Amino acid sequence: MKRTSVLALCFLLLSSVASAGIFIYEPKDKGVAFEKVVMLKGVAKDVSRLTVNGQQLQLQPDGSFACGLVLRRGKNYVDVRAVDAYGQVFDKQVRILGLKSYPDIETLYEGKKHWARQQIVYLSSLGFIEGYPDDNFYPGNPITRGELATWLARIKKLSIPALTEDVFFDVPKEHWRAPYVKAVVDAGYMQGYDNQTFGLEDPISRRQAASIAVLAEGIDVVDKTKPLFIDVPKTERGAFPIYIGKEKGLLRGVSEDIPVYEPERALTRAEATILLSRFKRSQNAVQWLFNYSKGFAADSYCPLNIAPQMISFSINPETIQANEQSTVALRLTLGSRDNFAPIAKVKVDLSELGGMPDVLLFDDGSHGDQVSGDLIYSLNVLLEPKESGSKPVRVTAVDKLGWESAAEAWLTIVE
């Protein structure tokens, strides 16, 4: 081969390699998201294979690709890799923080956010605290002793025991908070009213919370001669933990102008969050959370998902008689789900044919299905349409995360 031909070939190869690569449009690296799902969108140029977090993703004819990133709370890592025809590997990484918030701390009077929103978001995202089942936080509700025990055990990273007997009479071993109560009691941070009663659902006063917090942070309680709050005199029960907690920056009063603590009032969930956010481990954890140079690796891969892929949907026969009973075979073929969320159900709308709007198709070897688990969903259905014409039959596939796709076929009805 002539020297000029070799040089030309090398130039073509280098040009091809240089033009190949991965380009991610969204999301941006080092991002923050409150949504449970964000879309990964990009294009892979001149590559033969593309994977996201080790899972192969189908490329469109124009090289574009997309999938859903199912965010977990905390650090989510996305590793996009591609190989071109020459075996060269290209890779891009995206780091996303999945943060957790609640509707009732986002929009308050006159559109303002709750004063403790930031700390609530941070500690919730770290898994230290939780909201209610309706996905609100109710920051003004008194925190219960069971809630405080749970949050405290998580933040202090206490060993959570497996229980074989009840912790207290009112804390049976089956209660989901029982191991946390056991952990904080064993650590000496909290105790029951007596050997039988813990008061799981009872509120806790600001005075009691101060003693628990100072003890849990390992702060020595010493006699202070100068009271720091006008409503907590030196003779007040539990005064010294409040004084020393104030001096160490762990506790604060309820007013910026007047040194008032309100020791008898029940501690609210928002106040408990602020208190616990001042713990050393909470502060270290928040710093770690927002450190994009640490904690992003294969063990923090973000789960992926795509909507069900419709390969084909057929009706056989395609033509039937009006006012006569006919057996029609419906067949929907779906693409492989691999590690994506499995299919929850496939349903067909037969309302245009006089049937029900949500009729299930099967992939279990029954109802006309031939092979179980082959992603061909089938149904043999008896129809007796009353009107002639071309009628739409719409099928919908839904996965276990609620993602869905739809396809449509037409059935002709003749007189």
pLDDT means over runs of 10, the chain (415 residues): 47 47 94 95 93 91 94 95 92 96 83 89 97 96 98 97 95 96 97 94 96 94 78 84 91 90 95 97 97 93 93 94 92 90 94 89 91 94 90 94 94 92
Residue 11: its pLDDT value, please?
Answer: 39
Confidence (pLDDT) at 15? 43
Cβ burial of 44 (10 Å; 0-12, 13-18, 19+) is buried
Same domain, 392 and 328: yes
| In a shared domain, residues 146 and 273 | yes
Which residues, at least 6 apart from 279, have a Cβ–Cβ distance to it below 8 Å? 155, 156, 213, 216, 217, 250
Residue 46 sits in a domain of what CATH number? Answer: 2.60.40.10
13 occurs within a structural domain: no
Q: Which residues pair with 407 in a beta bridge?
A: 395
| Same structural domain, 142 and 85 | no
Q: Which two tokens stand for residue 150?
A: 């749970």
Between the alpha carbon of residue 375 and those of residues 203, 271, 303, 317, 405, the distances in Å are 53, 52, 22, 21, 14
Whether residue 287 sits in one domain with residue 324: no
Same domain, 66 and 108: no
Domain final residue pick, 259, 277, 298: 298
Nearest by Cα to 144 from 242, 278, 266, 262: 266
What are residue 282's phi and psi, to 5 degrees? -65, -45
- 8 A C-beta contact, residue 14 and residue 48: no
Q: How far apart are CA 268 and CA 254, in angstroms?
A: 12
Indicate if 314 and 282 belong to the same structural domain: no
Specify whether the CB–CB gap between 328 and 316 falls below 8 A.
yes
- Whether residue 126 contacts residue 74, with contact meaning beta carbons closer than 8 Å, is answered with yes
Give the Cα separation of 236 and 247 in Å (integer).
17
Indicate whether 283 belongs to any domain: yes
Distance separating the N- and C-terminal Cα atoms of the chain: 74
Question: Is 379 domain-assigned?
Answer: yes
Domain for residue 92, yes or no?
A: yes
Whether residues 61 and 75 share a domain: the answer is: yes
What pLDDT is attached to residue 110?
A: 65
Residue 123 included in any domain: yes
What tokens were used for 228? Answer: 């720091």
Provide the pLDDT for residue 224: 64
Give yes or no: residues 28 and 114 share one domain.
Answer: no
C-alpha–C-alpha distance, residues 141 and 283, integer Å: 24
pLDDT of residue 85: 86
Residues 273 and 126 in one domain: yes
Tokens of 411: 């059935």
Instruction: Check whether residue 190 and residue 255 sit in a common domain.
Output: yes
* pLDDT value for 222: 78
93 and 72 in a common domain = yes
243, 266, 298: which is the final residue of a domain? 298
Listed residue (376, 379, 377, 388) closest to 415, CA to CA? 388
Q: What is the pTM of this model?
A: 0.82
10 assigned to some structural domain: no
- Domain hosting 175: range is 103-298
Q: Is residue 11 part of a domain?
A: no
Single-letter amino acid, residue 192: G
Alpha carbons 380 and 361: distance in angstroms, whole number: 9
Q: Choose one of 276, 298, 320: the last residue of a domain.
A: 298
**Tokens read off for 286:** 């928040």
In a domain, 9, yes or no: no
Q: 48 pairs with which residues across the strands?
A: none
Query: For position 192, what pLDDT does the model report?
Result: 95
Same domain membership, residue 166 and residue 87:
no
Q: How many separate domains does the chain show?
A: 3
The single-letter code of the amino acid at 235 is T
